[in-house]
Structure 1
């Protein structure tokens, strides 16, 4: 691990020499800019709400793409509003957050997707931490029950998708690690260890089956629900089955960092450190630290970037820096460089442009030609979370 630290420091120092990033990063100015842009986003959303299409996801051409509460991305916009309230203390954001969080209430009963963790914990989870509203707690506990209903005790994992029966038997995706936080929270709040056992089993099975020898992650592992055996390990959104899909590595890094925070089990910290090693030592990482959508995509350096993968990674690294003493400075410095880059005009959208989204140049699903090199709501969510974490850590200096 010591050699890893020295290697990453060398990479960061070398890249800093190649492309200077200001030492006078003004986080308050960036927050002010994102606040103004989020005000614009609220106006856009209000103007484009039609029927069940009530929340923003991305853009296509000049048009905002609106989705229903059942879309997997539905919780991110309310989550942004809660975080903007945290960042500014302005009461209007709390009121807006309450308004848009309410729109997801019925999804607490949604048993058709693992994504209820994203949808509800990113919205109601923030809301409960901020307000202590007992109704929010009830909704979150019901959501955890809905999520837990997707668990298979033979496989010891939660099923990810139901809509891909033509491709998989029992698919589990690396993204699913992001939903364990809801279960661990529900276990603490209710005293029901079943939620925790499911989360632990899911994480342990993921460590066993999702990672290659170099600690990079497969996207999808397909299982037999009868025997629990692995049928195949493939990709759905990456370039190839054995390639490194950038956002998948970010999901894993974040998920196992949370697992360590909530359990203090060393194996989860070890896994998070291993994934961080992969992410920080990409041999084709661009100088600005924003990864290509897949690090084995065939036309690098002419491949789209994924700002969402960068934002998720930065947020995870900020937290991981508080748990990993040996790598604290390496992780913090790497996260700082990502956030500083995302705050430049190359990525941070000008106030009033692109329907109110914060970050440009994310890649949603390249193999299906969906959301390529555009703003996407979850990039904005994790960017704000990273800003919040950076601000908190900088205060501790």
Structure 2
């Protein structure tokens, strides 16, 4: 019987000539696309993090999630003439060609270094603020370049050994900022911030914003999300208050002296002191912290009652008094109802003034005081000693930003009639006191 011929089978669909042809076309397209991506100027993939920043960010606004800063960033390119004078434009264009992925670096220290004085940076920043087309990213690019950290920027202790600052070894300055209640050093940062004006631009996203010094990194990389009381006050008293025909002054002309009793902050403040003093250009003429030291009614050893519960607010409730809320809460939670104590050194306002300010005409003293009720004893001593009034008579301008605390603090210190007597007495002799509920 003859063998039946085997039927011819068609090949599977994935081996059909049409499918193979389509696959070859797709492979060719993918190969060409891959070569094109590899030859991109920024040498990044569209799907990498860098590629997303450099491509999508050019056309879409992004939000940078970081606490306490303005998060809206518009990535459209601004006119170079807004941020630089004409002679700098060519140099900036060359730098942009060499570094086309600058959008990935907006919250990191820039590698570009332009040696300018703080006044020159101020003028560059002000020109940018006056340009309607300038956006937040352009301003960040400017303010990031102003300060070069003197240390590694991590706020770690340097190798040098610190000796506790002694008020009696301090060199006085013509322009001084005394900070009673320095806490983590943020008042120093805000005083530095006052050196630049709010950006008075017509654009809503940067209108009335102020650059913010990063205490952890040692340069400016963000903006205050709202106007800060201490920044506003410092800017006013250094530029305008009591100046008459005198020129404006800025933080880099002032010596900063910070007084803080809480030993938890000692190491941090010493590191911050090094960082600020070694920065270039220097944000202040000199910065010095007196750690484990408190403003008091008399000089000498004393006891500070600690707040150990408000970590989210940097233990801001520590006080020379045992009555404050956080002191009592700490005592009940951690010490069987007994206030937690730290042995510290008390220093009077009179002593601080005599050791830190040169008493001559047109000298300027700024005092910021936020010491959880301790201000009553401190100002009582200052009034009775007559030091502040004597300095005013010698031509020193004295401005004081005073944070007032609740009535229970006052009752623990002195009679309220007496308090009114010496605060009015200080004001009558020419000490300019601004009291309120917030010293920044």
TM-score past 0.5 threshold: no
Higher helix share: 1
Larger radius of gyration: 2
TM-score, length basis structure 1: 0.29
Higher strand share: 2
TM-score, length basis structure 2: 0.27
Comparing both chains, which one has the higher relative contact order based on Cα–Cα distances under 8 Å and sequence gaps of 6 or more? 1
